A and B are shown apart, each in its own frame.
Chain A
Amino acid sequence: MRDKLEALGNQTLIDIEAAMDAAAIEQIRLRVFGKKGALSEVLKGLGQVSALERPQIGAFANTWKERLEEGLASRGQICEERDLDKRLAAEAVDVTAPARRLHPGSLHILTQTTRRIAAILGRLGFESASGPEIETEYFNFEAVNIPADHPARQMHDTFFIKPGHVLRTHTSSVQMRVLREKKPPIRIFAAGAVYRCEADATHSPLFHQIEGLFVDKGVRMSDLKGVLGELLSELFGTVKFRMRPSYFPFVEPGAEVDIECFKCRGVGHCQLCRSSGWIEVLGCGMVHPFLLTSAGVTDVTGFALGLGVERMAMLLHEVNDIRHMFQGDMRFLQLFRFRGY
């Protein structure tokens, strides 16, 4: 009995040392300790052992059992480590190979630019407003102080849809709709497509504008200057700007806003600013009293500003031809993939 146990124990210890993976260890465990395992088989003979010897044999068997279990556990741990190493090696991939994920596309720079400007105006308390793109002639012209015989009417080469209806030539038409629908204080911006009957390297029959309108008690021109300062410095960084008196029928006083040319800083031969040192970026002014009175709003003043999104986008991204904007060429669209908005 003792010999049998000894032989089984020693053989098992050899087997354990020879085991190379967790599966082999598990096999040995089953073979030795299983219900019908070798150990049980040997211990079946315990019945024939004298009662006197039985406790000693039992203790001897237990010692062997513990030794074998210990052996299985420690060898088992080594085998598990080996298995894991093998698995890790097998599962490794070339992490530098391209990702399977669909590459994201991009927002059009007109959208990116619109969002940048909308975000700045939004922080200044301006809310988004909109109006129809097929607009009545009245709202597009008369309502914003451009009567039929006004020279400015010819400046807008207008598309007609049906008698009395045009494709809006500017987002200023939204101003008047808002002035009539809402009560001051009004702080809105309107972004969207506008249409003019012209097409060349710098003009497109469809382009985009953003119009800001602020009407309240005691709005001053200095407020306009302050808002312009915020808007321009957020768009172009710290930049010198000036308001040059100009004429738009819906504002009085009206001004065009120039920023100092960021290419040449006003020195030397420069294509961007045509060597003037200044780049025209937007138009603005104090809301013309005609608009306020005809909307029935009294005792208030206001300012309005309007800019061309294409022009801004072309300046910000250094695009040289407006037609790129509307051709959907992937080589163009992909350029602006990583730009934030």
Chain B
Amino acid sequence: MRYSWNWLCELVDVGSIHPEEAADRLTRRGLEVESITYAGAGLEDVVTARILEKVRHPDSDRLHLCQVDDGASVRSIVCGAQNMKVGDVVPLARAGAILPGGMQIQESTIRGYRSMGMLCSRQELGLLGDDGVGLWILGEDQAIGVGVALMLYRDDWILDIASPANRADCLSHLGIARELASHLRCDVALARVPAMPTEGLDVHVTLPIRGCALALFEDLSFCEVPSWVLARLEILGLKPRSNIEAVSLYVMLECGQPLSLYAAEDTVFELNGVEPTIVTDDTKRVIAEAIDRRIKPQERTEAAIRFERGTIPFAQVWALGRFQELVGLWSGKHVQALKGYVLAPSMKREPIAFQVATITEFLGLKVPLTGPVLKEYFERLGFLCTLEGESILVTPPWYRMDVTHFQDCAEEIFRVVGFEAVANTLPQPCYRHHRSAPVIEQVQNMMVALGFYETCTLAFCSHELLSLYGVDGVPVLNPLSEEHAVLSSDMVPLLVKQLLMNVNHHFGQSSPQVRLFEVRRIFTAEGEYEELAFVAYGTQYADALEMRPIDFFDIKHVMNEVLGLLHKSQHYGAEAPSYGHPGLSATFEGGAVGAIHPRILKTLKWKRVGQVWYGRVRLPAHVEEPVAHFVQWSEFPSIERDFSFMVPKGFVSERLVQAALALPYVVKCRIFDMYQREEEASLAVRVTFCDQTRSLQDKDIEASVAQFIQVSQSVLQLQLRD
């Protein structure tokens, strides 16, 4: 919110401090001054000057040579305007001036004659009106050597202050002035306003409000509010439609209480929030109304901002009194409200009691504050304060609704003494048993080691995208857009989107490598879970420097590493999730891994060859680290036997491995070759036999071998190759 420095200076005697310095002090007190700007920016070197002499330039039809007096010296100016005469006072931009439009004024020589500045039009000074007429003639009576900024009431600084949301009192010049006054140890002017009738109006209140004050005026029509008032409102961003509105706005900026003006028909009045009839300067009977309420605004007007924060109770009567006073002052006649109405809660504030020492203890101050010092601090803030031995009793002023308990009082003292007065202590050290890195961190580290880049998606996506993947989610009732309509229950669609973006836009024709992963909260109808998801596209090393496309078993390896970390079973089933390639997908308890269905990629306008791989797995909140136990290994040699089978398409090789492992003496069964053709495939396994107690002989394993062949042929329907 914008505040006028001149206005603040009228309310409180700031002495010689500069606005920059005041801004710094206010900021340190919690009233953050976001910017300070000079209201007369561009007019700093523009002064009033009288034309003493005007002759035609010998080499030009349009130019004149002028002698002007700016109060300090007489200058020669070459001027192209026609509308001035000797004796006129006009604005002179001296050399060095940078006008509001950015034009830089320099001493120059124009067709052989020196010109020590420029005489200006209104337009050149960034003001409206009189376009094309020529110089801005200020008349003959205007004093010379006066800064134009000052003349226009723009010799002022505008402070843009962000005050805390609980400080309704600070949305006014009076409130900021009070803060400055307490800081500078001086008083605020404008403490008393004339009394106002509180009876006579018949008001029916149907709005939910905390309080209100209304006053009926007759014949308020008056000449004009002073131009400095309008200028001040203008630099603060307000443009009143009438003189009477100007007064009401001025009162609002001064004390923070918005006023509404109604054209009154009679003394019965309905306060129901209906938009009032606009009052003009000719309106005969006017009701001025001030209400106390806090309400979510529909618009961002100055009044709405104040109602949003909540007006200050009891400020309403004061505001109407001030309105009446200013109307009288500026119209030059006696003005008195005829009738009034006041609805106000009790003005009594409860005192807050605490021990003097608690403030020092609670804030951890370097130097303890004594009772008298505290009393002085509170009184400067406008609080009533009584000391009784070691206890203190403070009563906040009526405009400080935000102060209700001890910690609020502590904050006031914190604001006064500043953070430098607070000591620097560290809490007692605390020794705690820290578990090893949480599951999520371990998973993140593992994925990085496996060559994946961690990314962050926004969790939101469109219904359309989810239905393409056959995934559900949790819809948002008030989404930002269609694209943000649902919280996905699966990150894969979002990660694939980022993968496609990387491949499509950023890698041209060269071979793209994209590996992304994310660990985050996902949302399902049953609840929230932490999940890992990853996607991959591209190649990896086949041999030496040779690359080959990533295949299913690379991705399965990644998933196995993660499952191993989680101490979960690495048992996969051949089912595909809704978006998975049916022949290149596997699911397991809590997750899935594989290639994205080509139909989905086609819809997403994927034009490249090769699969887009995905994996996802739900992460437990924590993993019990199992304790491994010692097992005695066999000291005796083992025997290896290789078997090669023809297997039908779709055969699950894990069944063969399981069959082998079920046989006597078999300690290991490893697939070491797979070869796939159109309709059939060959599969070779190496089976290891071993015993704890003796060296096995060929005859010992004959039975197992025979049984293995028998099971593979009759149960698994495989054909043994020679």
Contact = CB atoms under 8 A, between A and B. Distances in A.
A100 B426 contact: no
B595 interface: no
B523 A134 contact: yes
Contacts of A106: 448, 453-454
A252 B362 CA distance: 11
A110 B480 CA distance: 23
The residue among A198, A214, A289 with the most chain B CB atoms within 10 A of its own CB is A289
Contacts of B30: 244-247, 255
B520 A193 contact: yes
A160 B478 contact: yes
Contacts of B650: none
A123 B362 CA distance: 24
B458 A105 contact: no
Contacts of B528: 132-134
A124 B427 contact: yes
Contact of A105 (B452, B499, B501): B452
Interface in B461-516: 474-480, 484, 487, 495, 498-499, 501-502, 506, 514-516
Contacts of B167: 247
Interface string B511-531: 000111100110100001000
Contacts of B646: none
B350 to A, nearest CB: 15
Contacts of A159: 476-479
Interface stretch (B84-92, B264-272, B407-415): B407-415
B165 A151 contact: yes
A247 to B, nearest CB: 3
B345 interface: no
B310 A151 contact: yes
Interface stretch (A34-42, A60-68, A136-144, A218-226): A218-226
A107 B449 CA distance: 10
A105 B517 CA distance: 10
Contacts of A289: 405-407
Contact of A221 (B364, B405, B477, B514): B364
A333 to B, nearest CB: 4
A331 B545 contact: no
Contacts of A227: 426-427
A127 interface: yes
B501 A223 contact: no
Interface stretch (A9-17, A25-33, A320-328): A320-328
Interface stretch (B62-70, B192-200, B429-437): B429-437
Interface string A147-190: 00101101100011110000100000000000000000101000
A329 B444 contact: no
Contacts of A230: 426
A331 B507 CA distance: 10
Given A205-B458, A205-B480, A104 B407 contact: no
A97 interface: yes
Contacts of B456: 108, 110, 325-326, 328
Nearest to B423: A222
B480 A151 contact: no
Interface in B385-444: 405-408, 410-411, 414-415, 419, 422-427, 429-432, 434, 438, 441, 444
B613 to A, nearest CB: 15
B451 A105 contact: yes
Give the contact-size bracket for chain A: 35 or more
A128 B541 contact: no
Nearest to A110: B456
Interface in A220-255: 220-223, 225-227, 229-230, 242-247, 249, 252-255
B28 interface: yes
B32 interface: yes
Interface string A312-336: 0000000000000111111101100
A221 B541 CA distance: 57
Given A197-B478, A205-B460, A206-B459, A333 B424 contact: no
A58 interface: no
Interface in A250-306: 252-256, 286, 288-289, 301
The residue among A102, A124, A222 with the most chain B CB atoms within 10 A of its own CB is A222
Contacts of B458: 204-206, 326
Contacts of B449: 104
A111 B519 CA distance: 10
B363 A222 contact: yes
The residue among B27, B426, B431 with the most chain A CB atoms within 10 A of its own CB is B426
A193 B541 contact: no
Nearest to B164: A247
B455 interface: yes
A108 B499 CA distance: 16
B364 A111 contact: no
Contacts of A221: 362-364, 410, 414, 422
B362 to A, nearest CB: 6
Given A100-B541, A105-B451, A125-B430, A225 B425 contact: yes
A97 B30 CA distance: 61
Contact of B425 (A98, A199, A223, A328): A223
Given A151-B294, A220-B362, A223-B364, A193 B459 contact: yes
Contact of A245 (B309, B411, B448): B411
Interface string A46-88: 0000000000000000000000000000000000000000000
Interface in A88-135: 97-98, 100, 102-108, 110-111, 115, 122, 124-125, 127-128, 132-134
A162 to B, nearest CB: 7
Interface string B156-186: 0000000011110000000000000000000
B544 interface: yes
Given A205-B484, A247-B165, A226 B453 contact: no
A72 B528 CA distance: 79
B431 to A, nearest CB: 8
Nearest to A115: B441
Contacts of A253: 363, 407, 410-411, 414-415
A301 B358 CA distance: 12
B128 to A, nearest CB: 30
B545 A100 contact: yes
Question: Which 10 pairs across A and B sit closest by C-beta, in order of nearness?
Answer: A222-B364, A245-B30, A328-B498, A125-B430, A247-B164, A253-B411, A220-B364, A328-B455, A243-B419, A222-B423
15 contacts: A102-B451, A108-B455, A125-B431, A127-B432, A132-B528, A161-B474, A205-B460, A206-B458, A206-B459, A222-B424, A227-B427, A325-B456, A326-B456, A330-B506, A333-B453
Given A161-B475, A247-B166, 15 more contacts: A127-B432, A149-B295, A155-B165, A160-B476, A193-B520, A193-B521, A218-B361, A220-B361, A220-B425, A221-B410, A222-B363, A253-B411, A254-B411, A328-B455, A329-B501
